[in-house]
Chain A
């Protein structure tokens, strides 16, 4: 999967949930949305980008969410 596109999609999701005043809820919102709507191969590709390229281009809130929900987002898929 095109990591640039996945980064943009993840950032767009984050831009919505960042309106959430509670950081934990924001993180849960981003992680939950990706978990509920992304095919596992997309999630794996995003984590590859995070791990191999230091999450280049990802908003901080996405990086935080991926880190916080890594297990749930990867083990399911």
Chain B
């Protein structure tokens, strides 16, 4: 059910240069051509009764409630399916219409349970509302005849129920599943009176349904109903905020009872998601009040000591004292901090400020190190800015979509729905991925080219694509000549034309037939607006940065940067990973991606912050681990990251963390990293604080506090207190003041303020005097760096090679229902869909090893070994296996190596040589992990 507080115009907005003027009940109204009479009436302030219509879905015209009279026309046309015409005179209310509508409602109600007082939709039921609107006062037809009043409620989905007795078969749920989500899981079974809604032959939870909630939102009755509403009742107020899961950054209305969340509903006015959601943002918010939440600060001298609950003052004093003691003994550079991509911009800004100003060094890094740091490097080097070029809406204008190293239906599901809608409209699809991801073929979507390359050969494939485009004369020479640096281009052109970059020469390395690459290249270069979307399958390689630059080369070569429908679009992993990078979380860059060696920039910050800024780059996360092991790095402040689970080569990471003298972890849960900590500072969830997140399209959106922090402080307040304890007090009363400072110091944020965000809803940076309302598409007139720079992208095979001992390639990723290290989603009902990580492998590889689906298997690499259950599937190609890292005991990162991107040290998660064998026992690491975890649990205070 849509929120009753959100007006519904009945049919979707139409955009047209041509305007049409008509009269609704004698009132003139002018609307874009193509608008429905219903929507025109809405614009004129007239609400035409309706049941099957809603402004999220195309008109259907089935309920017969929105009938109107139109002068000069016979009968009573449905206003939802009738487009406006110039001079049309529409009457929405008359005795005849009233009688027709009452009769229609009478029929609906004659086959509907009359349990309104105890119905969960009571207070927000469109059927009930319409009965009132049409003045239904009696139902002449009894319930003795054939009816639908008896049925079995499907409660199999953990988040919503389906009660067929309340269904009016308006098809809004079916249409939402098709039009909005693009899954086609629901259908109308049977004809006429036998018609009923069904998720295929099974119950909801076993069906194709992805639990995005679109059907629940669309249902005008209590048929599809959130269980939280059934349990708690209707909300009494709503607060607009931003989802804390993936980089799409969906806007939600947190619908509340007091300070208790009743449900999260995607915001129709959300500029990133336009009213859509996924299973995580829509339903998996229960972790925020999970009993595992840390509520009290704790300290201990050694990680083998029991935790001691202390006051905030004592915990912060102890942490600050330890950091200062370590610096005095081991030097200024012996401590550092890690900012969180799950925290707000303001919070990450404060942590990097604390490191630079209070610690006095640049040892600050963020989780982008292990995901999109190559994006920052590669796009800055080629285009001039460390961010994607487009807004999400841009996909609506794309003619060709190239998805490389990304699995949007799992990792960025709301944007994937948008992309699938464009594909259903006729855009053509190229997928470059070793796995047959869902996008390759699903209802009404099929990739024209699936380049199923071998992991580690992205650069080779991209070079081959570019080779074909140049060799076959498909490049946009005018664009390149006008907008790109010519000497650099000529150097690159000579390089790319070399025969070794041809698809034929690279076929053996990539495993992709040359003709398929040639076909994809021709399509990308000549198919109209071509947009590239990429993810961690691009960045998490030894050549991650080179791949990003090769993508930028390809886009510039074909003139596909600088207008809607095209561009280079990194699909960012965590909700605020773009923002954490923008805020100066990298050890070599101050906020706004300005290098610490720039004296002018340092002067700006040192003047404002009142301390000198170190001109040298600091340690990146992997370097921190190495320095901890060699003894030169002893203290670390980690806010909202779980490096012990998410970072590669777990045993190496554990060794590094054990080597620290003071590890301060600020988190909402006792995560894997916290088991190595000496100070625990309880964190606050996104529901407990004010601030902003910046999503993958550079969109800055407000995060709004809907409940008080469980442990008393929001994360930004904790950092302030820690800075104060370190002798560097910072003076902010509200995150808006932090944003004011960011705006004053960062040219791309110069125009950003909470007041402007309130007014505009959200803002895409750059936002400044030149672009006061933000920048949806970048590089329009020219590239940010001036001339676009073609970079020579030599394919260098990874040093991680298969051998007889390790003959398979392991690549890792994520799935729809779980998020990152799973700390949040594992503490929700999403576990129904994924109770443990699985090793996917091809039937051929399984058969060769005597492995059956569901068997326990050992996965062994040069770095380590773990045991997982096997999932035998043809979505894998022979020779390649795949797993996720959502569960710590799975130990996916025990197996991954410390190989990394040459430019940024982003780990090469996507290529690990392994062997897989049947086993009956957990690995030695898993047994040790189990013992360590139990010991750590025993050191926690009793609840």
Bound CA–CA A42/B545 (angstroms): 21
Q: Which residue of A is nearest B614, CB measured?
A: A40
Bound CA–CA A21/B488 (angstroms): 11
Q: Which of A9-17, A47-55, A63-71 contacts B (4 or more CB under 8 A)?
A: A9-17
Given contacts A5-B626, A37-B588, whether A16 and B546 have CB atoms under 8 Å apart is: yes
B627 and A36 contact, CB distance less than 8 A: no
Contacting residues of chain B (892-915) with chain A, CB-CB under 8 angstroms = 898, 900, 902-905
Contacting residues of chain B (601-652) with chain A, CB-CB under 8 angstroms = 615-620, 623, 626-627, 629-630, 632
Bound CA–CA A76/B362 (angstroms): 14
B630 and A76 contact, CB distance less than 8 A: no
Q: Which residue of B is nearest A13, CB measured?
A: B902
B495 and A39 contact, CB distance less than 8 A: no
Given contacts A2-B630, A37-B588, A39-B587, whether A77 and B616 have CB atoms under 8 Å apart is: yes
Contacting residues of chain A (20-65) with chain B, CB-CB under 8 angstroms = 20-21, 33, 36-42
B425 beta carbon closer than 8 Å to chain A: no
B794 and A9 contact, CB distance less than 8 A: no
A41 and B903 contact, CB distance less than 8 A: no
Expressed in whole angstroms, the minimum distance between the Cβ of A52 and any Cβ of chain B is 16
Bound CA–CA A50/B761 (angstroms): 56
Inter-chain contacts of A41 with B (CB < 8 A): 333, 627, 632
A13 and B597 contact, CB distance less than 8 A: no
B interface, over-half SS: loop
Contacting residues of chain B (693-714) with chain A, CB-CB under 8 angstroms = none
B903 and A39 contact, CB distance less than 8 A: no
B792 and A19 contact, CB distance less than 8 A: yes
A39 and B619 contact, CB distance less than 8 A: yes
Given contacts A12-B542, A39-B587, whether A1 and B627 have CB atoms under 8 Å apart is: yes
Inter-chain contacts of B627 with A (CB < 8 A): 1, 39, 41
Bound CA–CA A20/B571 (angstroms): 30
> Of B333, B630, B796, which one neighbours A15 at CB under 8 angstroms?
B796
Expressed in whole angstroms, the minimum distance between the Cβ of A13 and any Cβ of chain B is 5
Given contacts A9-B905, A15-B902, A16-B794, whether A36 and B629 have CB atoms under 8 Å apart is: no
B616 and A36 contact, CB distance less than 8 A: no
Given contacts A36-B595, A39-B618, A41-B333, whether A18 and B903 have CB atoms under 8 Å apart is: no
Given contacts A33-B903, A36-B617, A37-B588, whether A2 and B626 have CB atoms under 8 Å apart is: yes
Bound CA–CA A2/B649 (angstroms): 15
Expressed in whole angstroms, the minimum distance between the Cβ of B54 and any Cβ of chain A is 52
Interface-centre pick from B545, B587, B623 (highest chain A CB count, 10 A): B623
Given contacts A12-B542, A16-B796, A40-B616, whether A2 and B902 have CB atoms under 8 Å apart is: no
Inter-chain contacts of B616 with A (CB < 8 A): 39-40, 76-77
Bound CA–CA A16/B333 (angstroms): 30
Inter-chain contacts of A40 with B (CB < 8 A): 333, 616
Interface-centre pick from A20, A40, A41, A76 (highest chain B CB count, 10 A): A41
Inter-chain contacts of B900 with A (CB < 8 A): 9, 12
> Of B587, B617, B799, B903, which one neighbours A16 at CB under 8 angstroms?
B903
Interface bracket on B: 35 or more
Bound CA–CA A47/B619 (angstroms): 17
Bound CA–CA A5/B626 (angstroms): 9
B491 beta carbon closer than 8 Å to chain A: yes
Inter-chain contacts of A76 with B (CB < 8 A): 597, 615-616
B903 and A21 contact, CB distance less than 8 A: no
Expressed in whole angstroms, the minimum distance between the Cβ of B485 and any Cβ of chain A is 14
Bound CA–CA A41/B595 (angstroms): 18
Expressed in whole angstroms, the minimum distance between the Cβ of B239 and any Cβ of chain A is 42
Bound CA–CA A38/B619 (angstroms): 7
Bound CA–CA A15/B898 (angstroms): 18
Expressed in whole angstroms, the minimum distance between the Cβ of A64 and any Cβ of chain B is 17
A12 and B898 contact, CB distance less than 8 A: no
Bound CA–CA A38/B363 (angstroms): 11
A13 and B623 contact, CB distance less than 8 A: no
A13 and B495 contact, CB distance less than 8 A: no
Q: Which residue of A is nearest B331, CB measured?
A: A41
B902 and A12 contact, CB distance less than 8 A: yes
Given contacts A15-B796, A16-B794, A19-B794, whether A39 and B617 have CB atoms under 8 Å apart is: yes
B792 and A20 contact, CB distance less than 8 A: yes
Bound CA–CA A1/B628 (angstroms): 9
Inter-chain contacts of A1 with B (CB < 8 A): 623, 626-627, 630, 632
Task: Mark each residue of chain B from 846 to 877: 1 if its CB lies under 8 Å from any CB of chain A, else 0.
Answer: 00000000000000000000000000000000
B794 and A37 contact, CB distance less than 8 A: no
> Of A18, A20, A36, which one neighbours B597 at CB under 8 angstroms?
A36
Expressed in whole angstroms, the minimum distance between the Cβ of A32 and any Cβ of chain B is 11
Expressed in whole angstroms, the minimum distance between the Cβ of A63 and any Cβ of chain B is 17
Contacting residues of chain B (489-511) with chain A, CB-CB under 8 angstroms = 491, 495
Interface-centre pick from B543, B545, B902 (highest chain A CB count, 10 A): B902
Q: Which residue of B is nearest A15, CB measured?
A: B796
Inter-chain contacts of B595 with A (CB < 8 A): 36
Expressed in whole angstroms, the minimum distance between the Cβ of B818 and any Cβ of chain A is 32
Inter-chain contacts of B792 with A (CB < 8 A): 19-20
Bound CA–CA A21/B498 (angstroms): 14
Bound CA–CA A19/B501 (angstroms): 13
Interface-centre pick from A1, A33, A76 (highest chain B CB count, 10 A): A1
Q: Which residue of A is nearest B334, CB measured?
A: A41
Bound CA–CA A39/B597 (angstroms): 12
Bound CA–CA A15/B904 (angstroms): 14
Expressed in whole angstroms, the minimum distance between the Cβ of B467 and any Cβ of chain A is 15
Inter-chain contacts of B793 with A (CB < 8 A): 19
Inter-chain contacts of A37 with B (CB < 8 A): 588, 617, 620, 903-904
Task: Mark each residue of chain B from 271 to 299: 1 if its CB lies under 8 Å from any CB of chain A, else 0.
Answer: 00000000000000000000000000000
Bound CA–CA A66/B618 (angstroms): 20
Contacting residues of chain B (211-226) with chain A, CB-CB under 8 angstroms = none
Which 7 pairs of residues, A with B, have the shortest CB-CB distance? Answer: A12-B902, A19-B794, A19-B792, A15-B796, A39-B619, A40-B616, A13-B902
Beyond contacts A16-B543, A37-B617: 13 other A-B pairs, Cβ-Cβ < 8 A, are: A1-B626, A1-B630, A2-B626, A9-B905, A12-B542, A13-B902, A15-B794, A16-B902, A19-B792, A37-B620, A37-B903, A39-B623, A76-B616
Residues of A at the B interface (CB closer than 8 Å) are: 1-2, 5, 8-9, 12-13, 15-16, 18-21, 33, 36-42, 76-77
Q: 23 A-B pairs, CB-CB below 8 angstroms? A: A1-B623, A1-B626, A1-B630, A2-B629, A8-B799, A9-B905, A12-B902, A13-B902, A13-B903, A15-B796, A15-B902, A16-B902, A19-B792, A33-B903, A36-B597, A37-B620, A37-B903, A39-B619, A41-B333, A41-B632, A42-B619, A42-B623, A76-B615
